[in-house]
Structure 1
Amino acid sequence: MSTSHSSQSHDSPSPEATLQGPGLHGAGRISDRFWSPRLELVRDVVVPYQWEVLNDQVPDATPSHAIENFRIAAGEQQGTFHGMVFQDSDVAKWLEAVAYLLQHERDETLEQRADDTIELIARAQHEDGYLNTYFTCQAPGERWTNLCECHELYCAGHMIEAAVAYFEATGKRRLLEVMCRFVDHVETVFGHESGQIAGYDGHPEIELALMRLYDATGEPRYLKLCRFFVEERGQLPHFYDLEWERRGRTHHDFGAGTQPFMLHKKTYSQAHAPVHEQDRAVGHAVRFAYLCTGMAQLAQRSDDKALLATCRRLWDNMASRQLYVTGGIGAQAPEESFTTDFDLPNDTVYGETCAAIGVVFLARQMLAAEPDRRYADVMERALYNNVLAGMSLDGQHFFYVNPLEVDPKVLADNPILEHVKPVRQRWFTCACCPPNLARLIASLDRYVVGCADDTAWVHLYIGGEFELPLSAGTLRLHQETDMPWQGAVTLTIGADVPVQARLALRIPAWAEGFEVSLDGERLDAEMSSNGYLELERQWQDGDRIALRLEMPVRRVYPHRALRHDAGRVALQRGPLVYCLEQADNGERLHDIALREGGIVDTLEGTDALSGMTLLRAEALRENAAGEALYRFDDAPTYTRTEAVFVPYFAWANRQEGEMRVWTRELPRRA
């Protein structure tokens, strides 16, 4: 057992921090026919299941060893580190999800389990504040020697996020104290003074975590440290080159390497240029989203207009050139990364669940900086489609990769598609996605509304109770809706005293039209240029707003530069993107084409899809035309049929089979 470990408690997280109390960001409580069952699934199934996985108690799941690593690091058990170099982050994300659940519903058993885990983490911390089980157990002499590849600050960031969330939910400061001690240590290690490291982590995460810590404590040192990591990235002489030379030109994964590999790593982790000079989404998609999230929050908190302009420029490239119709990002499996503008293949796509979650994080921060429908539309698109698809309806199977086209028959023999799975998996060796999903869904109330001065913004139409602290007083908002199945929303105001304020309601781009009334009287209101309908008045207790969003089936057509989708169409109704599945339409989904202008209506799902709205479309199915691989002058013929489309998030919950989002469309004369 190492004598450098300490479980000593400290009176305060940092000498000058002023803690602002639990519930600081408790925006509300979800009570929604669509989302509440998913929150219950996270509470009752996902979080308990993930605890079993973290403790290696699920026989058919890939061993995690994550809790065991902390016991070994604390000197309480013999053994060796097992798992990915960032295995600690799985525990941190589990704790963060637990915190959000506890904030909404007390669970003494779950809280005690979390408290015990936090004490174990504290016992694994070194006297100087350092905390990382890989380097404690596996490479104690190599701390801070391979930031490019080894995720030390990434793991610290996730644990900071967990610490802030747990403090806000319970008022307990133990993990917050542990992580403030760690950040104190990080401050001594990084900087421009003699003996310090002028560097940054290969996987951004510490940046957004430090901003959360700053929000929770008001400690300006944390904002300053975040700015250091942001502004140091990509500067010359390049940190990765210097670090690589210092450790003898070796790499973590495969030993001795070459300089071209380091050049590649710079783009992979958004370190190819200083952030203010970057203008495209490049590299690892999750890293890009996390970095931009931290940058956007830093820009907002410090009123840094130049940094916000950088975030806006990078967002625009991502959202208008490199975003899938399902809200996913990351077009290729190599490096889980972006490729180039308008390169969005459907079958070889990566579309990692964590990357779509990162899109949601980033959109929320951009909305906080400058409320605009374009951010909320993308947040909603990612949330209801790519993010939700990452978890099965039973909460025990997960997608890491989210394709838009699958044919199981070709997966086994095509190495280019080896990352694509036709069914969700129980767990993963690299298990970042399942706990990330759990913490996002458990914290969903934080994404629905936003407040600034005298304006409350309603970004998402999710039912529940939300508190709106405004400059003139606090309003309570009770929101009722059947979204995503129906477009009617009712908002009821609660106020102890009248409050003069502006309520801004987002009008989604998918809505073909809208109507709004106040206390039964229809309003002749116009949408603002930012895509929100702004209603300003002195709000009284009991004021009732009815918003009706027209929700027809919309045909989505791709930009002409999207070569993979030329001649194809996708179907969307409300926020949901739909797809064909073999279970409803038989094999050879590529034989199916929609009729131009053909009728598309709705039908109710059954069995596993009960309660869901499906789509039924007039379609054509290509007829068989002999066995020749190629034919001369023999145009295909078609038979009229109907095609059934299911919500993309629900695919692969019945049986293994083909799936596709983009479908051919033929002229009505065909």
Structure 2
Amino acid sequence: MPTQQLKAANTLPIKDIHIQDSFWSPYIDLVRQVVIPYQWDALNDRIPEAEPSHAIRNLKIAAGDEEGEFYGMVFQDSDVAKWLEAVGYLLETDSDPELEQLADEVIDLIGRAQRADGYLNTYYTLKEPGKEWTNLCECHELYTAGHFIEAAVAYYKSTGKRKILDIVCRFADYIDTVFGPEPGKIQGYDGHQEIELALVKLYRVTGNEAYLRLSQFFLEQRGHGDFYLEEYEKRGKTRHWYNADMINDKKYSQTHLPIRQQDAAEGHAVRAVYMATGIADVAMETGDSSMLDACRKLWHNIVSKRMYITGGIGSMAFGEAFSLDYDLPNDTVYAETCASIGLIFFARRMLQIEPKSEYADVMERALYNTVVAGMAKDGKHFFYVNPLEVWPDACGVNHIYDHVKPVRQGWFGCACCPPNIARLLSSLGEYVYTVQDDTIYTHLYMGGKAKVEVAGQTIVLEQRSEFPWNGHVGFTVQSKSDLEFTLALRVPNWTSGCELFVNGEAVEWEHTVTHGYAMIKRVWAPGDQVIWSMTMPILRMKGHPLLRETIGKAALQRGPLVYCLEEADNGKHLHQIRLLAGEEGKVVSKPALLGGMNVLQMPAYRDSDEQWGSELYRADRAVKQELIEAEYIPYYAWANRGPGEMMVWVRE
């Protein structure tokens, strides 16, 4: 096992970040006050209108507390684990004795459901005992284990309580006896990557290199031989899923090539970015430059050829997967919320390895658009799929849209997205800054206070942000004495210019830019004030000429936010609207709209069918046109006012 680490930046512990932001604090409070209690009710089947979860009851049955049968998806345990992980992050930022007691009770339950040898999975304990590790391709055993591990690390770091950490260490130790390159062990890997990044987290908190070695084994084993086909033959050619051929479709679970040879994001989008995150983690810890090169190739392919303007990934419902370069349909898109969350995980690891603004730009794009759109403003309804164009009348009639929902759902039988949103938003502080040597990198502009170890001293960096509505950000340095360090300020790809002031005096910064960050190095005195002001023009974004779905169309973006037309503001038949080329719009503040937001008002034409007649097609193409003012709202806010049409890309 290589021991030379890459010189990676450090993220700040969640306990050292206190977010106080007009945009993000309400979301974090929503997670704490509404989402976590609501998801607890969902896990306990207390929401009549939502699909049953049975996840807690499965654990109770496995623990011997109740009688009954397993119910739910093969990975149902993971919903509990992600809930517990989010709780861990929340407890690290603010104490909550009642929530902590509830979490401790869940941990006790998990401990009672664990087998004596360390194995933990209610599906196999209750439904198929004796068949453990016989269907890794389809049945998510290692995926579920990974989520338990991530939850344990988060909870241990927040509370210092070892019980859940000891539970997952016993589980990981048991897994290490089952898998590996040694004779007699299974030389295979899971169908859904997750264990890889989880084991690296466990290694970092325990120092046990066996966990790092096991993570690297799982990654490097992919793409060699026909493991899934071999285990299929061994178990008598039985399948768990019959609607998808996971066994023979090697691209689906990224087993078509060894990881270092994969130069395009293929298959199931969530699996692909979870794998990439694990590769980046192992590269960071081992110094393996070939693994880092693999990450760069996958990243470049995703963001330059296979990502939506909203930061969504996964263009087709079949397999929840990537399709091919530049195939990004807007109305049949999948763009699972979990996939964008995985892309954010990947981006953060790459920022640690090499602080380049391109990673932070994508992280910001996915966060402010697809991820926040995945949850309603009430914290109780969620999108699994995030389309860029919706015609509700066609949903449920034209079956190519069966996966598209015009309104958010209360819960899902496969409920991976809601708890994933909760754990990301509750750990948001980890994504704002990194520290490398004597440099503090600011990746996200988000108000709050951060306690930072830099240049041998502990300082407090206070940030004040008007994001995402205005590009004005302020910083105050709180330190015991003068201290020399570099404050690296990201220059976003959406701004047309920035101004920098330190203690009221203008500072030239353009010559300091490195990899998209203005590197402001100076001796900072206690109380020093920084103003970083970024212009936020309304951008008419165009798609690459090879993007068939966006040719002749424009999408509006201002700052990190992508905007959309919605029926509630513009009436039905949004496809009839055409933006006037070259016309500038205006930004209008609407404090009473969905918690307060800026909307964009743009001059446009609307085509009408009033004078067309009854013919379906005509030669003269006479269309009545009306000059209108089209109103755009932020994409994240759509579908909070009932079902209606929505459109991001509009004819120009």
Q: TM-score of the superposition, structure 2-length normalised?
A: 0.96
Alignment check: 8 A CA contact 1:608 1:654 kept: no
Specify the SS of the correspondent of 1:187.
helix
1:657 aligns with 2:644: yes
Provide the C-alpha distance between the structure 1 equivalents of 2:503 and 2:526, rounded to a whole number of angstroms: 12
Provide the C-alpha distance between the structure 2 equivalents of 1:175 and 1:261, rounded to a whole number of angstroms: 33
Provide the C-alpha distance between the structure 2 equivalents of 1:95 and 1:585, rounded to a whole number of angstroms: 42
Provide the C-alpha distance between the structure 2 equivalents of 1:90 and 1:33, rounded to a whole number of angstroms: 30
Alignment check: 8 A CA contact 1:587 1:658 kept: yes
Provide the C-alpha distance between the structure 2 equivalents of 1:106 and 1:529, rounded to a whole number of angstroms: 39
Other-structure match for 1:247: 235
Distance 1:34 1:606, change over 3 A: closer
Specify the SS of the correspondent of 1:401.
coil
Alignment check: 8 A CA contact 1:604 1:610 kept: no
Q: CA deviation at 1:223?
A: 1.1
1:596 to 577, 581, 599: 581
Judge which range, 315-324 or 221-230, deviates more: 221-230
Q: CA deviation at 1:194?
A: 2.3
Name stretches of at least 5 consecutive residues in structure 2 with no aligned partner: 1-11
1:609 aligns with 2:594: yes
Q: CA deviation at 1:279?
A: 0.4
1:485 aligns with 2:473: no
Other-structure match for 1:295: 279
Alignment check: 8 A CA contact 1:472 1:501 kept: no
Other-structure match for 1:282: 266
Other-structure match for 1:3: none
Provide the C-alpha distance between the structure 2 equivalents of 1:400 and 1:117, rounded to a whole number of angstroms: 26
Provide the C-alpha distance between the structure 1 equivalents of 2:63 and 2:355, rounded to a whole number of angstroms: 46
1:551 aligns with 2:540: no
Residues 97-108 of structure 1 aligned to structure 2 (within 5 Å): 97-108=86-97
1:642 aligns with 2:626: no
Alignment check: 8 A CA contact 2:347 2:359 kept: yes
Alignment check: 8 A CA contact 1:233 1:273 kept: yes
Residues 208-227 of structure 1 aligned to structure 2 (within 5 Å): 208-227=197-216
Runs of 4+ off more than 3 Å: 23-27
Provide the C-alpha distance between the structure 2 equivalents of 1:246 and 1:291, rounded to a whole number of angstroms: 26
Provide the C-alpha distance between the structure 1 equivalents of 2:258 and 2:481, rounded to a whole number of angstroms: 50
Q: CA deviation at 1:499?
A: 2.6
1:39 maps to amino acid = I
Q: CA deviation at 1:470?
A: 2.6
Specify the SS of the correspondent of 1:267.
coil
Provide the C-alpha distance between the structure 1 equivalents of 2:188 and 2:482, rounded to a whole number of angstroms: 52
1:184 aligns with 2:173: yes
Other-structure match for 1:205: 194
Alignment check: 8 A CA contact 1:166 1:172 kept: yes
Provide the C-alpha distance between the structure 1 equivalents of 2:16 and 2:615, rounded to a whole number of angstroms: 62
1:621 aligns with 2:606: yes
Alignment check: 8 A CA contact 1:297 1:369 kept: no
Other-structure match for 2:146: 157
Q: CA deviation at 1:467?
A: 2.3
Specify the SS of the correspondent of 2:223.
coil
Other-structure match for 2:566: 581
Any idea what the Cα deviations from partners look like across 1:157-186, whole Å, max 9, x if unmatched?
A: 001000000011111111000000100001
Provide the C-alpha distance between the structure 2 equivalents of 1:184 and 1:207, rounded to a whole number of angstroms: 14
Other-structure match for 1:4: none
2:412 to 399, 405, 428: 428
Provide the C-alpha distance between the structure 2 equivalents of 1:525 and 1:118, rounded to a whole number of angstroms: 51
Any idea what the Cα deviations from partners look like across 1:240-272, whole Å, max 9, x if unmatched?
A: 1221121122211249x9xx76221x2111111
Provide the C-alpha distance between the structure 2 equivalents of 1:374 and 1:243, rounded to a whole number of angstroms: 41
Q: CA deviation at 1:452?
A: 1.2
Count of residue correspondences: 638
1:407 aligns with 2:391: yes
Q: CA deviation at 1:293?
A: 0.5
1:49 aligns with 2:38: yes
Alignment check: 8 A CA contact 1:477 1:494 kept: yes
Specify the SS of the correspondent of 2:303.
helix
Judge which range, 375-384 or 462-471, deviates more: 462-471
Alignment check: 8 A CA contact 2:137 2:247 kept: no
Alignment check: 8 A CA contact 1:608 1:653 kept: no
Q: CA deviation at 1:606?
A: 5.5
Alignment check: 8 A CA contact 1:26 1:446 kept: no
Provide the C-alpha distance between the structure 2 equivalents of 1:643 and 1:101, rounded to a whole number of angstroms: 41
1:72 aligns with 2:61: yes
Alignment check: 8 A CA contact 1:27 1:446 kept: no
Q: CA deviation at 1:471?
A: 4.3
1:60 aligns with 2:43: no
1:398 aligns with 2:387: no
Other-structure match for 1:6: none
Judge which range, 598-607 or 147-156, deviates more: 598-607
Specify the SS of the correspondent of 2:475.
strand
1:630 aligns with 2:636: no
Provide the C-alpha distance between the structure 1 equivalents of 2:106 and 2:327, rounded to a whole number of angstroms: 44
Question: RCO (CA 8 Å, sep 6+): is it higher in 1 or 2?
Answer: 2
Q: CA deviation at 1:495?
A: 1.6
Q: CA deviation at 1:538?
A: 2.1
1:450 to 434, 459, 477: 434
Provide the C-alpha distance between the structure 2 equivalents of 1:609 and 1:87, rounded to a whole number of angstroms: 33
Other-structure match for 1:539: 524
1:338 aligns with 2:322: yes
Provide the C-alpha distance between the structure 2 equivalents of 1:40 and 1:254, rounded to a whole number of angstroms: 41
Specify the SS of the correspondent of 2:315.
coil
Q: CA deviation at 1:149?
A: 0.6
Q: CA deviation at 1:611?
A: 1.4
Provide the C-alpha distance between the structure 2 equivalents of 1:636 and 1:616, rounded to a whole number of angstroms: 24
Q: CA deviation at 1:604?
A: 2.2
Provide the C-alpha distance between the structure 2 equivalents of 1:541 and 1:471, rounded to a whole number of angstroms: 15
1:626 maps to amino acid = G
Other-structure match for 2:372: 388
Specify the SS of the correspondent of 1:565.
coil
Provide the C-alpha distance between the structure 1 equivalents of 2:589 and 2:403, rounded to a whole number of angstroms: 33
Residues 84-99 of structure 1 aligned to structure 2 (within 5 Å): 84-99=73-88
1:364 aligns with 2:353: no
Any idea what the Cα deviations from partners look like across 1:407-436, whole Å, max 9, x if unmatched?
A: 111112111100000000000000000000
Q: CA deviation at 1:608?
A: 4.3
Q: CA deviation at 1:607?
A: 4.3
Alignment check: 8 A CA contact 1:131 1:182 kept: yes
Other-structure match for 1:13: none
Specify the SS of the correspondent of 1:263.
coil
Any idea what the Cα deviations from partners look like across 1:261-302, whole Å, max 9, x if unmatched?
A: 6221x2111111100010000000000111101111111121
Provide the C-alpha distance between the structure 1 equivalents of 2:292 and 2:426, rounded to a whole number of angstroms: 28
Q: CA deviation at 1:351?
A: 0.6
Alignment check: 8 A CA contact 1:24 1:216 kept: no
Residues 93-132 of structure 1 aligned to structure 2 (within 5 Å): 93-132=82-121
1:35 to 13, 24, 41: 24
Distance 1:540 1:84, change over 3 A: same
Any idea what the Cα deviations from partners look like across 1:88-142, whole Å, max 9, x if unmatched?
A: 0000000011111111111111100000000000011111110000000001110
Q: CA deviation at 1:25?
A: 5.3
Provide the C-alpha distance between the structure 2 equivalents of 1:608 and 1:142, rounded to a whole number of angstroms: 54
Q: CA deviation at 1:637?
A: 4.1
Alignment check: 8 A CA contact 2:433 2:442 kept: yes
Provide the C-alpha distance between the structure 2 equivalents of 1:623 and 1:53, rounded to a whole number of angstroms: 46
Other-structure match for 1:496: 480
1:178 maps to amino acid = I
